[in-house]
Chains A and B, each alone.
Chain A
Amino acid sequence: MAAGIKDKVAILGMGCSKFGERWEAGAEELIVEAYEEAIQDAGVDRSQLDAAWFSTAMENVNVGKGGIALSTALRLPNIAVTRVENFCASGSEAFRGAVYAVASGACDIALALGVEKLKDTGYGGLPAAEQGTLNPLWAATGSAPGNFAQLASAYGAKHGVNKEDLKRALAHISVKSHANGVKNPKAHLQKAITEEQALNAPMIAEPLGLFDCCGVSDGAAAAIVTTPEIAKSMGKDNIVTIKALQLSLSNGTEAAYNAWDGSYFHTTRIAAQKAYKEAGIDKPRDQVSMFECHDCFSITELVTMEDLYLSAEGTVVNDVMDGFYDADGQIPCQIDGGLKCFGHPIGASGIRMLYEMYLQIQGRAGDRQLSNPSIGMTHNLGGSPVSNVASVCIIGAA
């Protein structure tokens, strides 16, 4: 049995650009913005980087293929740069590459950086993803909100939650995230909304209205990782280490075999189980201090709270309405505003989530600072409920 990643790698520094409609900035400028904060936070310079992992998803509206864009934007010293793409979990995938490189001993210091420039398409919403040659010939004609909205119909049917109660819980999720985003100067959306606004917003994909959907933004985020020993030798204290890093991918079972009921993420449950085991967590509801989940849509967040074993199956609507996941609840969720307020520059999002958990554990989260959080978790998901990539990462004080 593999020993896992726990406490083998420390975060040396992180950076995050301002997210939003960055009309004035291209991907290259966003890369530099996130990198400069990270490299300063880490206290190293580029010559100390052994390798880099670079995440982007939409190559057609971003920087194209390959790792050259990162190497060139940062004038990296001709080190290895690996571009990774794994749907909307691409950012976590870049982080995984850098962390594994350090854990293996192949690198002392590695960079993970994700960026997405989505606002050069000319329209709102995510650009259509290339699907290859066979899928477009038969796959249902849909969009991300329509695919995720299906969770609502299946969850409601399975647990006997009527459409009104479910819609109200979804509204509460979005109201909570907007309230958190108000306190975050890097968030795209920094404006509170009311439950009525959420309930009465224009329909995007039944039952998801405008405020059930995350924004579409430009942004970049970066992490520099090393071993805890090197971090200590550099005089760092307050060190944050990686406790678990797991990824689970669908294999077609949900899509083509009659077992899955459509109301949850099969992969998230597997990734969460493995991550808790790797981190040594046996009572997540008691032990996780806070988390950032992949709230691309309010319904995703709702079912994910159960898939991460924080709410028992069939009870999340009550937890949400009770404020369990609010900023002053037992396990604050999306304390930075989440995808809901940051938007979802795909390649950057997984690292952006880690950035907030890292700041919180170090006590550097400003107006949003929670009281002594020790364990932070991120959940970064790509694809759709029926076929997806689920990443769960747990970090904490060393």
Chain B
Amino acid sequence: MTGITSFGGYIPKLRMQRASIAGAHKWADPGAALKGKGERSMCNWDEDAITMGVEAVRDCLKSGGVIPEAVYFASTTLPFQERQNAGIISTALSLGEDLSVLDVTSSQRAGTSALLQALAAVKGDQLDNVMVVASDHRRSKSASPQEFTFGDGAAAVQIGNKDALLEFLGSHSITVDFVDHFRGAGEDFDYQWEERWIRDEGYQKIVPPAIAKALEKTGIKADDVNHFVMPATIGRAVQGIVQKSGLDNTVVCDTLHQQCGETGAAHPLVMLLNLLETDAKAGETVMLVGFGQGCDVLLFKVTEAISNSRGGNGISGSLANRREETNYQKFLVFNDLVTLEKGMRAEKDSKTALTVLYRKRDMLLGLIGGKCTQCGTAQFPRQDICVNPQCHESHCQEPYSFVEEAGQIQSWSADYLTYTMNPPSHYGMIVFDNGGRFMSDFTDVEVGEIDVGTRVKMVFRIKEFDHSRGFIRYFWKGVPV
């Protein structure tokens, strides 16, 4: 039985209050106030599609996921145009090198398309299991409608042949070059066409025929669909599709517009996960739709395995872990939408020696340290000679991951002098419960929130941008738990 065997989600902790966005624009756009309801998720300055993807996959692995044979990464905001983005995720999580990976991009339905490819590979017995992760951190111009409707987030699902909690029943895809928006190569922002046209000529005419064919292929009646998962930011667009397709009005799932906004290529999966975590019951039928230059329609049946599927935070847990952000200026800075005076300290060259990055890739991307086979001391970084003053044995370190190690803060400061996108820079000594320590950056922290003894966990984040070369350094940081 092919299907989704486990899942994990991640929504950034920051929630930009739409009222604050509207408040900033009302001088120029009196209508902005109408859009100023609810909140949208917002990446911290050090988050992007990769870092969110890492957290989603990590969450999936904690919820029963296993080391996959392949990772398919769907995003329209891949941090690298050339450098396998999925490979960064797999290296960060030490998924091993016997792995095939794929970046799937260029359309809002990249998430469902990656899912379809994974299902096909597993169903066709080419692979036993595939990790599909979709993540998007879409930029929008200041004062654009998308600034209100977009959100940032990621979702991961593992596809396998055993113990699926969501059994794959079948699908149908349609491809038409319907350009509701586009982003040319090298462009920073999308160019959007009129919403009413998108609704009438796009959603209403492209999706219902695909739904009809998917139902026909699977032999499922429209009446039997219990949940209809489809992102859309245009008012009443989904209801129109449901009506036209003969589905019950009540099956339309929450788009999470009020809590997080639309997370791009990740959003069909984000909505699906939210459904699985909150509403879905064994035996129910779920229809999942991804729209973009055509559409993908997928049908699933919820199995009894749904009852023991949890373990990680998921989408609902991420949504509950929130911090309201009312400072619109911070949103502009984090999304590089203003020309900011960063001071001379920010002028230092951040060229990365790729030889070093490769040589130390397990340390720098995977947070792998060492454990001494002589004295058992966990240590970071791993060096040839053990750090324990009572040991100092040579060449006796085994790789040891600190990714899931918990620790606490021994010393800290909030530094206003050093340059950071989110001053003050918080950092300090983390002492890990099972041995090892290092001086670490902290993130998702505001002034007054940490002290000696604060418990922390590690997260994968952007360490530094090399703007002059277009490179991004990633490493791990501590966050309070």
Contacts and interface: CB of A to CB of B under 8 A. Distances in A.
Tell me if chain B binds chain A.
Answer: yes
Interface of A: 121-123, 125, 128, 133-134, 136-143, 145-147, 149-154, 156-157, 203-206, 208, 252-253, 255-259, 261-263, 385-386
B185 interface: no
B303 to A, nearest CB: 43
A33 B360 CA distance: 47
A141 B418 CA distance: 7
A255 B441 CA distance: 14
A75 to B, nearest CB: 35
B367 to A, nearest CB: 9
Given A141-B418, A146-B417, A151 B411 contact: yes
Given A154-B410, A157-B453, A206-B414, A141 B427 contact: yes
A146 B411 contact: no
B452 A153 contact: yes
B327 interface: no
Nearest to A140: B427
B475 interface: yes
Contact of B425 (A121, A141, A154, A252): A141
Contacts of A151: 411
Interface in B391-442: 410-420, 424-425, 427-429, 431-432, 435-441
Nearest to B379: A256
B397 to A, nearest CB: 12
Nearest to B344: A123
A146 B413 contact: yes
Nearest to B388: A257
Contact of A157 (B417, B452, B475): B452
Contacts of A150: 411-413, 428-429
Contacts of B380: 256
Contacts of B356: 133-134, 137
Interface residues of B, number: 53
A154 B452 contact: yes
B414 A386 contact: no
Contacts of A125: 345, 417
Contacts of B432: 258
Nearest to A122: B344
B30 interface: no
A119 to B, nearest CB: 13
A263 B424 CA distance: 22
B34 interface: no
Contacts of B357: 137
Nearest to B363: A138
Contacts of B389: 253, 257, 259
A151 B431 CA distance: 15
A144 B417 CA distance: 9
Interface of B: 343-345, 348, 350, 352-353, 356-357, 360, 363-364, 377, 379-381, 383, 387-389, 410-420, 424-425, 427-429, 431-432, 435-441, 447, 451-453, 463-464, 473, 475
Contacts of B348: 128
B439 A386 contact: yes
A117 B438 CA distance: 33
Nearest to A148: B413
Contacts of B344: 121-123
17 contacts: A128-B345, A133-B356, A134-B356, A137-B463, A137-B473, A140-B441, A141-B420, A142-B413, A142-B418, A143-B417, A143-B425, A146-B417, A204-B415, A204-B416, A205-B415, A208-B413, A257-B377
Given A133-B356, A154-B452, A262 B364 contact: no
A307 to B, nearest CB: 16
A154 B411 contact: yes
A386 to B, nearest CB: 6
B429 A262 contact: yes
A-B pairs with the 7 shortest C-beta distances?
A: A146-B415, A150-B411, A149-B413, A140-B427, A262-B411, A154-B411, A206-B414
Given A154-B452, A257-B388, A205 B429 contact: no
Nearest to A386: B439
A153 B412 contact: yes
Contact of A137 (B364, B377, B424, B425): B364
A137 B410 contact: no
Given A150-B411, A151-B411, A141 B416 contact: no
A350 B353 CA distance: 34
Q: Which of B344, B413, B424, B436 has the most CB of A within 10 A?
A: B413
Nearest to A202: B416
A133 B353 CA distance: 6
B413 A153 contact: yes
A367 B479 CA distance: 53
Contacts of B425: 141-143, 146
Given A138-B363, A142-B427, A146-B427, A261 B417 contact: no
Given A146-B417, A253-B389, A386 B463 contact: no
Contacts of A257: 377, 379, 387-389, 437
Nearest to A262: B411
B338 to A, nearest CB: 21
A137 B360 contact: yes
